[in-house]
Structure 1
Amino acid sequence: MKRWMRKLAGIGLGLSLLLAVGCSDQEKLEVGKTVPEGEKLIVYTTLQAQADFVRAIGGDQVEVETLMPLGPNVWQWAPTVKEMRDIERAHVMVLNGGGMEDRWWSQTYATVKIKNKELLVLDASQGIEPLGLLHYNNRDASEDDKVKKRNDPWFYLDPQLAKQEVETIAAALAKKAPAQAELFQKNAEAYKQKLDQLDQKYADTFSKAKRKEIVSPYPAFQYLAKRYGLNYYVPTTIAINEFPQDKPDQIQALKDDFAKHDASVIFFEGEAAPRVQEFLESIGYQTKELNTYEGKLSQEGYKSYLQVMEENLVVLQAGLNQ
Structure 2
Amino acid sequence: MKRWLNKFTYTTLGLGLALTATMIAGCSESTETVSKGDKLKVYTTLAAETDFVKQIGKDHVDVVTWLPFDTNVWQWAPTLADQKNLESADIYIRNGVHVEDRWWSQTEAEMKIKNKKLLIVDASQGIEPKYKLQRLNNPDVSDEEKNKERQDPYYYLDPVNAKIEVDAIEAALEKKAPKFKDDFKKNAEDFKKQLDELDKSYQDTLSKVKHKELVSPYPAYQYMAKRYGLTYYVPTTFNSNKIPWDDQPKADALKADLAKHDFKVAFFEEEAAPRVQEFLAEFGYRSLIINPYEGAQDPAAYKTYLEVMRENLKQLELGLNKD
Q: With the length of structure 1 as denominator, give the TM-score of the two structures.
A: 0.87
Q: Hey, what does 1:126 align to over in structure 2?
A: 125
How many angstroms apart in 2 are the aligned matches of 1:316 and 1:191? 23
CA distance in 1, matches of 2:241, 2:308: 24
What is the aligned partner in structure 2 of residue 156 from structure 1? 156
Give the structure 2 partner of residue 10 of structure 1: none
Partner of 1:60: 59
- For 1:250, the equivalent position in structure 2 comes to 250
Work out whether residues 240 and 275 of structure 2, in 8 Å CA contact, stay in contact via their aligned partners in 1. no
Instruction: Evaluate the alpha carbon distance shift between residue 259 and residue 103 of structure 1 in structure 2; reply closer, same or farther with a 3 A threshold.
Output: same
**2:19 corresponds to:** 24
Aligned to 1:17: none
Secondary structure of 2:134's partner?
Answer: coil
Structure-1 separation of matches of 2:299 and 2:149: 36
Q: Which moved more, 1:180-189 or 1:31-40?
A: 31-40
Task: Find 1:34's aligned residue among 22, 32, 35.
Answer: 32
Paired amino acid for 1:169: I
Deviations 1:261-306 (A, max 9, x none): 1100011122221111111111110001110000001210210000
- Give 3-state SS (helix, strand or coil) of 2:171's partner: helix
Q: CA deviation at 1:225?
A: 0.7
Report 1:57-206 matches (<5 A): 57-129=56-128, 130-135=130-135, 144-145=144-145, 147-206=147-206
Aligned twin of 1:259: 259
Residues in 2 aligned to 1:29 and 1:220: alpha-carbon distance in whole angstroms:
26
Note the C-alpha offset of 1:145. Answer: 4.2
Cα distance change on mapping 1:70 and 1:247 into 2, 3 Å: farther
Cα shift at 1:53: 0.1
Check 1:240–1:144 CA distance in 2 against 1; reply closer, same or farther (3 A cut).
Answer: farther
**Deviation digits for residues 55-97 of structure 1 (CA, Å, limit 9, x no counterpart):** 0000010000000011222211111111111111110000012
Other structure's SS at 1:214 match: strand
Deviation at 1:237, TM superposition (A): 4.1
Check conservation: 2:51, 2:304, Cα contact below 8 A. yes
- Over residues 208-254 of structure 1, what are the superposed CA-to-partner deviations in whole Å (9 max), with x where a residue is unaligned? 11111101111111110111111111124443754442544411111
Aligned AA (1:46): T
1:49 corresponds in structure 2 to 48
Q: Unpaired runs of 5+ in structure 1?
A: 1-22
Other-structure match for 2:222: 222
Aligned length: 298
Structure 1 counterpart of 2:55, which letter? A
Post-superposition Cα deviations, 1:19-72, rounded to whole Å, max 9, x if no partner, equal xxxx93516633434123422111000001000000000001000000001122
Give the alignment's TM-score, normalised by structure 2: 0.87
- Which residue of structure 1 aligns with residue 15 of structure 2? none
Deviations 1:127-170 (A, max 9, x none): 112111112699xx998545311111101100111111111111
C-alpha distance in structure 2 between counterparts of 1:89 and 1:240, whole Å: 43
**Which residue of structure 1 aligns with residue 233 of structure 2?**
233
CA distance, structure 2, for counterparts of residue 295 and residue 237 of structure 1: 25
Q: Deviation above 4 Å: which 4+ runs of structure 1? A: 141-146
Report SS of the residue matched to 2:301.
Answer: coil
The equivalent of 1:280 in structure 2 is 280
- 1:108/1:249 CA distance change after superposition, 3 Å: farther
| Alignment correspondent of 1:20 | none
Structure 2 residue aligned with 1:319: 319
Q: Report the Cα distance in structure 2 between the residues aligned to 1:240 and 1:168, rounded to whole angstroms.
A: 40
CA 143–72 in structure 1, closer or farther in 2 if over 3 Å, else same: farther
Contact 1:43 1:64 in 2 (8 A): yes
Per-residue deviation, 1:193: 0.3
SS at match of 1:174: helix
